[in-house]
């Protein structure tokens, strides 16, 4: 399409080249004949709507959105920007992933800050509909153009980017750090979601001090929201979960951080805070389910702590719990394996009880791993299981089994790019390399080569300056 083309010249060329009448093209498009004529022939021409453009585009046999780049001029050059036309246009661009057209629109809106509220509203609609690539462009525009650092729109835009990139490795960390300083400027319902996400991120990174700060803020906020939950105020936003979930999850994470550090007495203290949440008032069915869920977690975690403290008498009851709660088997096996390593007792007979589950944990392909463990918590849980199971197998001289699960772990860490844990995994393999089969050594060397190639492609150091590709 030539640089001087307009929607009307394209229409005129089509009418001339196909020898079709204006009336016939109007009828084919479903646009009223009088309106169609005014769009094509009036001077100045009648402005098009995006729905009319879509109908005319289809009638001319063009692909959806084929004329959208020309429609940008229609919205900004022929007439002043009008959000009754711009909003539907942006949403249609999002639906068709016409990202270049969205960029053109935002360029035209640059320095017209009075349009920021409407841009933000369009971004929110895209976010809610799951049109994330388009929403990202609009949120970044708000972040760059918003003048007040205390703007609620600015804070929400940072949160939305964090939510969109939550499971995207390095990008998740980057957006989290950008959002961090804006967390206290959010509406309360969104602040609950933001604080929970930050707490979970720090938990996964084992940054316990930062995690405790977020959980303390989350507990304080959920208590404040609960205190005023009977007020008449209507919130524009709704949190993702029932309020009880944020309160319980904050204490669950806090207790888990102490348990992970071997500080079992403190962990037990925090477990008591979510063990019985039946005192929460005004619970719906989801809230009541959360009460039972946290009670079950508390029961399991108290048993887990007993076993980690060396109380083997708690194992039979814990095994029964795991059989009744299959989703907790992986975490339960980690508890049993860690305790066996620490207190030097044998659990092969217990592992046989879960042989079926262990078989399902057999996977080597990182693509398969991503499909099976989409949630970041589940992926980290699996990585941790592979770590402790491989250590147990090596200690009990089941070398190939240990090497196999160590390679599963290394594959995960290659996708998440956790370099410290990658080094830990490699050191473990090297310690037992001489006892491992040639085939598994070959696979290990291949993964190490992949890791090295990825590292070379990511960063080139020039005179101390890191240049990222």
Question: Residue 466 corresponds to which tokens in the numbers above?
Answer: 């890191």
pLDDT at 200: 95
Would you state the pLDDT for residue 466?
A: 30
Residue 462 pLDDT > 80, yes or no? Answer: no
Instruction: Give the residue with greater pLDDT, 266 vs 76.
Output: 266
**What is residue 230's predicted lDDT score, i.e. its pLDDT?**
60
Rounded to whole angstroms, the Cα distance separating 40 from 22 reads 9
Using left for φ > 0, alpha for ψ between -120 and 50, and beta otherwise, residue 42 falls in: beta
Q: Is it the case that residue 226 has pLDDT exceeding 60?
A: yes
Q: Return the HEC string of 86-126.
A: HHHHHHHHHHCCCHHHHHHHHHHHCCCHHHHHHHHHHHHHH
Model pLDDT, residue 167? 81
What would the pLDDT profile of 17-26 be if each residue is shown by its tens digit?
Answer: 999 999 999 9
Low-confidence winner among 42-51, 134-143, 231-240, 457-466 (lowest mean pLDDT): 457-466
* pLDDT (tens digit per residue) in 70-86: 999 888 887 788 899 99
What does the alpha-carbon distance between residue 127 and residue 96 come to, in Å, rounded to a whole number?
15
pLDDT of residue 231: 54
Other CB atoms within 10 Å distance of the CB of residue 74: 22
Give φ, ψ of 468 to 5 degrees: -90, 140
pLDDT digits (tens, 9 = 90+) for 368-408: 544 444 456 678 888 999 999 999 999 999 999 999 999 99
Q: Which residue has the higher pLDDT, 47 or 132?
A: 132
Half-sphere exposure of 354 (CA within 13 A, CB side): 26
What pLDDT, in 10s, does the model give residues 139-178?
999 999 998 888 999 999 999 999 999 988 778 899 999 9
Q: What is the pLDDT of residue 467?
A: 27
The pLDDT score that the predictor gives to residue 160 is 98
* pLDDT (mean) for 43-64: 92
Give tens-digit pLDDT for 85-137: 999 999 999 999 999 999 999 999 987 888 999 999 999 999 999 999 999 99
User: 64 by DSSP, 3-state: which?
Assistant: coil
pLDDT by residue (tens digit) across 323-370?
999 989 999 999 999 999 999 988 999 999 999 888 887 765 545 544
Q: By CB neighbour count within 10 A (0-12 exposed, 13-18 middle, 19+ buried), where does 182 fall?
A: buried
**pLDDT cut 70: percent of the chain above it:** 92
Average pLDDT over residues 251-272: 97
pLDDT at 459: 46
> CB burial class (10 A; 0-12, 13-18, 19+) of residue 326?
exposed
The pLDDT tens digits for 290-309 are 999 999 999 999 999 999 99
């Amino acid at each position: 399409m030539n640089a001087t083309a307009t929607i009307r010249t394209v229409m005129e060329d089509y009418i001339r080249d196909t020898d079709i009448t204006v009336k016939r093209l109007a009828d084919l498009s479903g646009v009223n004949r009088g309106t169609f004529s005014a769009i094509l022939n009036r001077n100045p021409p009648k402005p098009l709507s995006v729905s009319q453009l879509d109908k005319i585009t289809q009638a001319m046999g063009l692909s959806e959105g084929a004329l959208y780049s020309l429609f940008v001029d229609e919205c900004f050059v022929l007439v002043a920007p009008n959000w009754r036309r711009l909003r539907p246009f942006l949403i249609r661009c999002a639906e068709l992933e016409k990202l270049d057209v969205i960029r053109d629109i935002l360029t035209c809106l640059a320095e017209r800050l009075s349009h920021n509220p409407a841009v933000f509203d369009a971004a929110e609609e895209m976010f809610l509909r799951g049109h994330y690539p388009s929403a990202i462009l609009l949120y970044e525009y708000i972040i760059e153009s918003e003048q007040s650092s205390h703007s609620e729109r600015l804070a929400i835009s940072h949160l939305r980017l964090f939510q969109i990139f939550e499971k995207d490795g390095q990008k998740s960390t980057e957006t989290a750090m950008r959002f961090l300083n804006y967390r206290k400027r959010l509406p309360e319902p969104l602040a609950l979601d933001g604080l929970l996400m930050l707490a979970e991120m720090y938990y996964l990174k084992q940054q316990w001090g930062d995690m405790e700060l977020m959980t303390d803020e989350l507990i304080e906020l959920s208590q404040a929201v609960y205190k005023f939950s009977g007020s008449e105020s209507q919130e524009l936003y709704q949190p993702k979960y029932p309020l009880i979930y944020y309160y319980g999850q904050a204490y669950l994470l806090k207790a888990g951080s102490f348990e992970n550090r071997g500080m079992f007495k403190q962990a037990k203290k925090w477990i008591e805070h979510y063990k019985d949440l039946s005192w929460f008032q005004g619970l719906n069915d989801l809230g009541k389910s959360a009460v039972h869920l946290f009670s079950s977690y508390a029961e399991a975690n108290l048993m887990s702590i007993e076993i980690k403290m060396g109380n083997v008498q708690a194992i039979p009851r814990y095994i029964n719990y795991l059989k009744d709660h299959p989703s907790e088997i992986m975490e339960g096996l980690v508890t049993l394996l860690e305790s066996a390593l620490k207190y030097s007792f044998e659990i092969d007979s217990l592992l046989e009880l879960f042989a079926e589950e262990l078989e399902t944990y057999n996977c080597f392909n990182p693509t398969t791993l991503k499909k099976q463990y989409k949630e970041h918590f589940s992926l980290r849980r699996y990585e941790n299981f592979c770590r402790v199971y491989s250590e147990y197998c090596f200690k009990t001289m089941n070398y190939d089994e240990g090497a196999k699960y160590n390679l599963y772990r290394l594959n995960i860490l290659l996708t998440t790019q956790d370099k410290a844990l990658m080094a830990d995994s490699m050191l473990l393999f090297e310690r037992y390399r001489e006892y491992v089969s040639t085939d598994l050594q070959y696979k290990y060397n291949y993964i190490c080569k992949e890791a090295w190639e990825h590292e070379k492609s990511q960063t080139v150091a020039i005179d101390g300056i890191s240049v990222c590709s």
